[in-house]
A and B are shown apart, each in its own frame.
Chain A
Amino acid sequence: AQKVTQAQTEISVVEKEDVTLDCVYETRDTTYYLFWYKQPPSGELVFLIRRNSFDEQNEISGRYSWNFQKSTSSFNFTITASQVVDSAVYFCALSEASNYGQNFVFGPGTRLSVLP
């Protein structure tokens, strides 16, 4: 069965600090996809990144970086030099290649508060 765990329920940091959000997943499939989404107070989930199970390269996009490690089933997200605008709930999600359509399993989310 698929499962996504985000052990950190809430994190508070002061602006300009670096912060890492953890994500651990479970799946029996060999082909799967991992996602991170951001949910600001407005409620709309905003896509941040997608990785497939065959691509373990780390990725950096501006102040955001992602570390994918299949050996530990983790897909962690780091924000460097955090800003107040980064305050949101962040969700990690798993999707398996399937012939039965699209079905994301989301983690419980991590609420990040960046204080000025």
Chain B
Amino acid sequence: KAGVTQTPRYLIKTRGQQVTLSCSPISGHRSVSWYQQTPGQGLQFLFEYFSETQRNKGNFPGRFSGRQFSNSRSEMNVSTLELGDSALYLCASSLLGQSSGANVLTFGAGSRLTVL
């Protein structure tokens, strides 16, 4: 069974540009979450999607956005990149659809973004 797939794995952008990251969840998983990991702030929740709807959002500026498609694949977009956006962006999917804190998240290997 394929795991959570994130693309691209590595990318380099310059300030002011925008970036789109992609996540394919495990087959059958309908919930997709995104997390940002930096040395200074650790792992921080960005947003979660279920059935193409954003169900929860973390405390990030509006430059960070996402969406989910009907096949559960998800993308996140960061516009007007800043140096501080350099991070490992992790996507996670979960099987259970109900709103519950019990869901186990299965993570992808992440997309490492460097902003110059």
| Residue picked from B35, B50, B106, B107, most chain A C-beta under 10 Å | B107
Q: Is the CB of A33 within 8 A of B48?
A: no
Partner of B45, one of A33, A47, A104: A104
Q: Is the CB of B104 within 8 A of A102?
A: no
Q: Give the contacts of B32-73 with A (CB-CB under 8 A).
A: 33, 35, 42-45, 48, 50, 55-56, 58
Q: Which one of B11-19, B76-84, B95-103 contacts A? A: B95-103
What is the interface size of chain B, counting residues whose CB is below 8 A from a CB of the partner?
Answer: 29
Q: Is the CB of A43 within 8 A of B33?
A: no
Q: Does A98 interact with chain B (Cβ within 8 Å)?
A: yes
- Min CB distance, A48 to chain B, in Å? 10
Q: Is the CB of B105 within 8 A of A104?
A: yes
Q: Is the CB of B43 within 8 A of A103?
A: no
Q: Does B24 interact with chain A (Cβ within 8 Å)?
A: no
- Min CB distance, A101 to chain B, in Å? 3
- Min CB distance, B36 to chain A, in Å? 11
Q: Give the contacts of A91-113 with B (CB-CB under 8 A).
A: 91, 95-109
Q: Does A52 interact with chain B (Cβ within 8 Å)?
A: yes
Bound complex: CA A47 to CA B55 (Å): 23
Q: Is the CB of B101 within 8 A of A95?
A: yes
- Min CB distance, A45 to chain B, in Å? 4
Name which residue of chain B comes closest to A37, CB basis. B107
Q: Does B88 interact with chain A (Cβ within 8 Å)?
A: yes
10 contacts between A and B (CB under 8 A): A32-B101, A33-B102, A44-B107, A95-B102, A101-B56, A101-B99, A102-B94, A102-B100, A104-B105, A105-B45
Q: 7 nearest interchain CB pairs?
A: A101-B55, A95-B101, A101-B56, A45-B107, A106-B43, A44-B109, A101-B48
